[in-house]
Amino acid sequence: MNKFRPPINTRSTDELLMIAGAPDKWQPQAVELAKAELQLRNIPESEIARVKYLLERVDQLEDLKRAKEAYTVSDFFFKPYMTLFEILVSWELEKDGYFRKARQQRVIRPILILLILMLVIWSII
């Protein structure tokens, strides 16, 4: 039973290759239907393997980009509240793959907390 919208057999060959090339991002039944449809269209397995390789490379590049993403001075000027909130509250930067931001956070967080405490004490006095 083909319960997908649009149905798998009506999708373009490129869409089917994307489905078959990224089985971890699709339901197993969709992957099997896509592979079966590609066989009906006489698309070789080597083409599926090529698309799978390219999709893995794209994922690796996205992971690398995420790992190298850092806070910049413009973040503090153009989105100060969001940046400060992320630095003070977010605990999952490293888990999410933002390794450089996590390192920066470990340095900036104590400084910000110290500044906030100094402002609170100064306002009391």
Reported as a single tens digit per residue, the pLDDT across 6-44 is 888 899 999 999 999 999 999 999 999 999 999 999 999
Helices and strands of the chain, counted as H and E runs? 6, 0
pLDDT range class, residue 4, cuts 50, 70, 90:
confident
Domain spans of the chain, in order of start? 8-64, 71-124
As a whole number of angstroms, the longest Cα–Cα distance in the chain is: 80
Whether residue 67 is predicted with pLDDT greater than 80 in this model: the reply is yes
Q: Tell me how far the alpha carbon of residue 96 is from its chain's centroid.
A: 8
pLDDT in tens, 45-55: 999 999 999 99
Q: Structure pTM?
A: 0.72
Helices (H), the chain: 13-21, 28-40, 45-68, 73-78, 80-89, 99-124
User: Nearest 5 degrees, angle CA 52-CA 100-CA 25?
Assistant: 25
Summarize pLDDT for 80-118 with one digit per residue, the tens. Answer: 999 999 999 999 999 999 999 999 999 999 999 999 999
